[in-house]
Structure 1
C-alpha cells in the first residue's frame, strides 16, 4: 500500500478514531484494570494482565480475571498484606508458561517495590532517557528481580537493552501514561509524557507496519521497535503510541 506521508497520517488517524473507543475495552486485556478506580489497583491489575497477554485473547482475559479473584479483587491490598501462606491459593494456576510459582514471586516483588521503591511509577519515571522508556524498562527488570527469585521467572519480564521489543510492558505503559480523551487508556502516571512511549510491537502490528512502509526490519525485536518508533513520531511526536490502536485494529480485526 503506497501512501504519501499526509495520506498515511490521515488513514491511520481515522483508524485510531475507529478503534480507540470504549467498545474496544471488553475484548481486550485492558478490561481488567478498568474494573478498578484506585491508582495502585489499576497499575497492579494491569501489570499482571499485561504479563500474561499472549495467546488467545479470551483465555488471557479469563485467566487475568482468575488472578484478580484469587487476590480477592483487591490487588493492591493483597500485595501489601499477603503472607507466604496466602500464596498457596495460586497453586494450580497456569497461563501458557506462566505458572503459580511465577505469580507468587510477582506478588512478593510488587510488595518490595511498593515498600522500598515508592511504587511502580517512581521506578519508571526516574529512568527515562532520550525521551524513551526503554532504559527504564531495563532498570525496572533489575529492581523487579533484586530479591531472591526463581530463575525460571526472569523470562516473564522483558529487557529491551537485551534485544526484546518488550511488547507487553510497552502496552502496559501505554495504559498507565497515555491520557486518553476516549476513556480507554488511563493516564494515571503524570510523570511520564506520552511522547516517550513506544508502540507495543507484535506479529499483528509488525505485519501491518511493514505493509504500510513504517517498518523494514523483518524481526519484531528492539531494533524494529526503534525503527517503528521513529516512523510513528514523524506522524505524531506528542502521542506516537496512539497508532497502536490503528495497527492492532487493522491487523486483528481487518486482517490487513
Structure 2
C-alpha cells in the first residue's frame, strides 16, 4: 500500500475501519482479493511475483497492512519481500509469524500496521526497528513516519473521520474518498510545484495516482464491528485509472 487511513476502537459500531490504495507498477502481476486456498482463513489479494500480499485479514482475528517508507534510498532487490511479513503474520505460520523486530533489517524500509485481538501495533524498520501500540483513535499513514504524516495522509484521515460522523452505515462509500486526485501542494511557494515534477515531491501527491506505468492498482476498505462481523471490499483499476472490477467478501472474527 502507499496510503492508509485507520480508525481503531473509536466508533460505537466499528471496532476498526481501514481504507487504502495500493500503488504499484501496472506490469507487476497480481491476483485480486479472494479467500486463499491455503490457509482458508486468509482473505487478501496476492502479489504473484513474490507470493505475499499488501493488505489482508484472517478469520483468526488478524489484520495487516504495509506501506513503503521513503527517504532511505533505492530499494534493494536482494532483500526479502515485505509481503512475506503479512503472509506469515496473517497465516500464523512460518518463521516470520511473530514479527520479531530482529528480523526487520532483512527487509526494505516499511511501515506495517498489525491487529491481533484487542491490540493494534504500527511497526517500522527505519531508522531503527520499532513497534508501538496504537491507542484508540484515527490515523493517516503513507510513505512517511506515522509521527509526521504527509498531507495526503491527513486528507484521507479527515475523509474517514467525516464518514464515521455522517455516513457510517455504508463502508463502500469510502471507496470514493480513495479516488481523490487532488495534489496537496503547500500554498506557500506553490509556484515551485507542478503536476509535471510531482515525482520529485511524493509527499504532495494525490491519494489516487493515475499513471500508465506506476499508479493506483486497487483501493481497499475493511470494516469490522464490535461483534466481529467484517467486510472487505477491493476495487481494481486499469493503467488509465478506469475501474475494472470489484470484489466484496464477508468474514467474522472470533470475539
Q: Do the structures match in fold with TM over 0.5?
A: no
What range is the shorter-chain TM-score in?
A: 0.3 to 0.5
What TM-score, normalized to structure 1? 0.34
The structure whose residues are more often helix, as a share, is 1
